Amino acid sequence: MQLTRDLEEAVASGKSNEEILKILERVRDEVVYTYAFSQTQGFQALQFATSTCTAHPTRANDDRFKAVYMQISAARYTQTRDDDIRQTEALWWNTEPVPDEGEHIALEFRDVTADHKTWTVSEAWPPEIVEGSTLEAFERVAQRFRVRANQKHRHPYLPSLHFDAVLKGGRVPFSNLSERPVADILSDLEEERVVPFVRNDEDNHDVHSRSPARYFDLWERTLPEWCRTPDHWVEPSPPPGFIEDGKSPRSLREQYYVKVPTLHFAGKGRHIIPAAKKPDIISRSLFIPVQNFSVDKVSFYPLEREHDLVPHSAHLIPGKITLEAARALLGRVVQSSTEPRPDPDAARGAKRRKINKYASQFLGYAWGLETEDGRPAWLHCVHYANRGGNEYVLDLSGLKRTYADWRSPVDIRTQPCAWVGAAVLPADLRSSKAASGSGAGQVGAERSAEVPTKDGVMSYDAWCARTEKWIRALNKKRNIPLVEVGTDGTFVGGDLGTSKGEADQFEAEISGAKPGIWQMSLERTPHEDTGDGEEVDEDSKTIRFVWTAQGTLDYDALPRRASVRPLPTDLDAQWEVVGSFSVDSGMICLFSKYALDAILATGTDREAMLEAFIDDDEGRKIFVPGGIVVSGNDGGYDIKGRRDADGSIVELKLRL
pLDDT tens track for 140-177:
999 999 999 999 999 999 999 999 999 999 999 999 99
Q: Can you tell me the distance from the alpha carbon of 586 to that of 595, in angstroms, rounded to the nearest whole number?
A: 23
Instruction: Give the β-pairing of 627-631 and 587-592.
Output: antiparallel
Asked if residue 639 lies in contact with residue 646, where contact means CB atoms within 8 angstroms, the answer is: no
pLDDT per position as a tens digit, 246-271? 666 778 888 999 999 999 999 999 99
> What are the strands, taking DSSP E only, across 384-440?
391-395, 413-415, 419-422
Specify the length of the chain in residues. 656
Residues above pLDDT 90, as percent of the chain: 57
Mean pLDDT (whole number) for 357-386: 92
CATH, range 104-207: 3.10.20.90
Using a CB cutoff of 8 Å and minimum separation of 24, what contacts does 57-63 make? 58/17, 59/17, 59/20, 60/584, 62/17
DSSP character at residue 254? -
Residue 88 pLDDT more than 70? yes
Asked if residue 504 lies in contact with residue 475, where contact means CB atoms within 8 angstroms, the answer is: no
pLDDT at 359: 75
pLDDT at 327: 96
pLDDT at 531: 54
Mean pLDDT (whole number) for 584-591: 84
Asked if residue 287 lies in contact with residue 262, where contact means CB atoms within 8 angstroms, the answer is: no
Instruction: Give the β-pairing of 170-173 and 491-495.
Output: unpaired
Residue 442 pLDDT more than 50? no
| Torsion angle of C-alpha atoms 602, 607, 609, 612, degrees rounded to 10 | 180
- Tell me if the pTM is above 0.85: no
Band (pLDDT 50/70/90 cuts) for residue 358 is: low
Mean pLDDT (whole number) for 611-628: 80
Residue 615 pLDDT more than 70? no
- Which has the minimum average pLDDT: 289-303, 405-419, 447-461, 469-483? 447-461
- 108 alpha carbon, distance to own chain's centre: 37
pLDDT per position as a tens digit, 55-82? 777 787 888 988 999 999 999 999 999 9
Q: For residue 344, which of 301, 304, 314 has the smallest C-alpha distance?
A: 314
Q: For residue 617, which of 492, 474, 491 has the smallest C-alpha distance?
A: 474
Asked if residue 434 lies in contact with residue 444, where contact means CB atoms within 8 angstroms, the answer is: no
pLDDT at 349: 47
- Which has the minimum average pLDDT: 179-183, 232-236, 487-491? 487-491
Instruction: Give the β-pairing of 333-337 and 419-422.
Output: antiparallel
CB-based burial of residue 143 (10 Å sphere; 0-12 exposed, 13-18 middle, 19+ buried)? buried
Q: For residue 610, which of 487, 483, 440, 464 has the smallest C-alpha distance?
A: 464
Q: Can you tell me the distance from the alpha carbon of 644 to that of 656, in angstroms, rounded to the nearest whole number?
A: 25
pLDDT per position as a tens digit, 294-351? 777 888 998 888 788 998 889 999 999 999 999 999 999 999 999 887 665 555 444 5
pLDDT at 567: 54
Band (pLDDT 50/70/90 cuts) for residue 534 is: low
Q: Can you tell me the distance from the alpha carbon of 316 to that of 336, in angstroms, rounded to the nearest whole number?
A: 9
pLDDT at 129: 98
Phi first, then psi: what are they for 347, rounded to 5°?
-60, 140
Mean pLDDT (whole number) for 25-41: 92
pLDDT at 468: 87
pLDDT per position as a tens digit, 634-650? 888 999 999 988 889 99
Q: Can you tell me the distance from the alpha carbon of 469 to that of 475, in angstroms, rounded to the nearest whole number?
A: 10
pLDDT at 570: 62
pLDDT per position as a tens digit, 182-225? 999 999 999 999 999 999 999 988 888 889 998 999 999 999 99
Q: For residue 483, which of 513, 504, 447 has the smallest C-alpha distance?
A: 513
pLDDT at 443: 30
Band (pLDDT 50/70/90 cuts) for residue 446 is: very low
pLDDT at 452: 37
